[in-house]
Structure 1
């Protein structure tokens, strides 16, 4: 047993957060960091929905329900599942969705997560699976937030020169 709260609870708290918002967003960033570290080992988690991620009382991140974890598995699925499933808890406001996406992706990238995994998570192949329980406007906000963030990251990586579209 791990003392702590599921990431789903953190996401729900963010929707009505006051002063603790910054700390809660930092938890989302840490989750992105930890997933990137796992991916760097060549492992996919397999069932990366927020209920299966526990934030311990001391701030450490634990992944549970790991029956689907495997070497060489679909890392893109881990990103897609976390992001799109997170949208299942958030109806309003849209800016909260954007902040969650930004923190998660930034955490993933600063921990050397594969940018290509993030890009591929935006495909219809992954989004379609979550369309049954995450509202369409939230899915669209997640995708658009990721695309905007990826453009910004690409812009910075190229030294401020915008290339391509």
Structure 2
């Protein structure tokens, strides 16, 4: 398995000085996971993200028309653009498999070449993808103000990558994006998200083993908030712990600059999505206390008071045990004192 992380810095810091004019190709339609994709190759260029620009501006990473129509089209794409994405050797085979549930619209792309195997994550930002958090969006009305359109969510991800890196938090490397088709290709992080880890720990009755990880997540979320940013969709499933123990934050399509009210939503959502795995509060409190300890190393107690409010926890009624909701609200108020 090849690690492409060093190449991420190379793309962002060295290659941007160059300009690549890509040849226009004939428009073709292809199907991936049952969805018709336009794969017209338009003239594109590489631009660099200039550090002097504000986070609110649109960062310009490597913009490529992403076409993956069947095996032949996938091989053609990586044959033509693979060198820009860190792929070495002659492309032999490209496989695309869904990651997670069918509504996530996230795929694991595996590229086999004569030099080895390369892995990517391909994410599509369509209106269909809203289903994964639509119920919370309805229930939380004025709390998180979710972005709806695919294009705005893709822009959120591109901006958030800059903001989180400045805050000292790890995110998967972004290799390229296609604004027209609302797609982006990222580094594949080999590891397990915290959702799966909590379920395993609950089954094995050793949730205390995750306290250190939760404390670190709390600290990093506080760093993000201190930088003036919020995650918007902050839950254990969106934190991946890599095989070497590093934490990576994914699914940043709702991230944006925020305030203490929105920061409170981040904290409340993370704790409630942790609590949903438990009928009784005792074990949930262990993990959530660890998160709050970490958060208060750099975070503001006012955020915890906002997170503990009834309006923040109301959307989770029916998803989380009432006893757990009340216990976690009390816990946040204790740490807010």
Same fold (TM over 0.5): yes
1:105 paired residue among 272, 282, 292: 292
- Residue 48 of structure 1 pairs with residue 209 of structure 2: no
Going by fraction, where is strand more abundant, 1 or 2?
2
1:131 positional shift: 0.8
Tell me which residue corresponds to 2:251: 65
- Residue 12 of structure 1 pairs with residue 199 of structure 2: yes
1:90 aligns to what SS in structure 2?
coil
Give the conservation status (yes or no) of the 8 Å contact 1:2–1:56. Answer: yes
**Distance in 1 separating the partners of 2:237 and 2:192:** 9
Q: Which structure ranks higher in relative contact order (CA pairs < 8 Å, sequence separation ≥ 6)? A: 1
1:141 positional shift: 1.5
Cα displacement string for residues 22-71 of structure 1 (whole angstroms, at most 9, x for unaligned residues): 44111111110110111111100011111111111222111111011001
Give the conservation status (yes or no) of the 8 Å contact 2:217–2:294. Answer: yes
**Distance in 2 separating the partners of 1:86 and 1:22:** 14
1:88 paired residue among 276, 281, 292: 276
Structure 2 residues without counterparts, runs of 5 or longer: 1-187
Give the conservation status (yes or no) of the 8 Å contact 1:12–1:90. Answer: no
**Distance in 1 separating the partners of 2:226 and 2:266:** 13
Give the conservation status (yes or no) of the 8 Å contact 2:239–2:250. Answer: yes
Going by fraction, where is helix more abundant, 1 or 2?
1
2:279 aligns to what SS in structure 1?
coil
Structure 1 residues without counterparts, runs of 5 or longer: 152-165
Tell me which residue corresponds to 1:147: 333
Normalising by structure 2, we get a TM-score of 0.42
**Distance in 2 separating the partners of 1:150 and 1:75:** 14
**Distance in 2 separating the partners of 1:71 and 1:34:** 16
**Distance in 1 separating the partners of 2:218 and 2:290:** 8
1:15 aligns to what SS in structure 2?
helix
Tell me which residue corresponds to 2:312: 126
1:67 aligns to what SS in structure 2?
coil
1:72 positional shift: 2.1
Count of residues paired in the alignment: 148
**Distance in 1 separating the partners of 2:232 and 2:322:** 24
Cα displacement string for residues 76-113 of structure 1 (whole angstroms, at most 9, x for unaligned residues): 11101101111111224x32111112100001011x11
> How has the CA–CA distance of structure 1 residues 77 and 45 changed in structure 2, closer, same or farther, with 3 Å as cutoff?
same
Tell me which residue corresponds to 2:189: 2
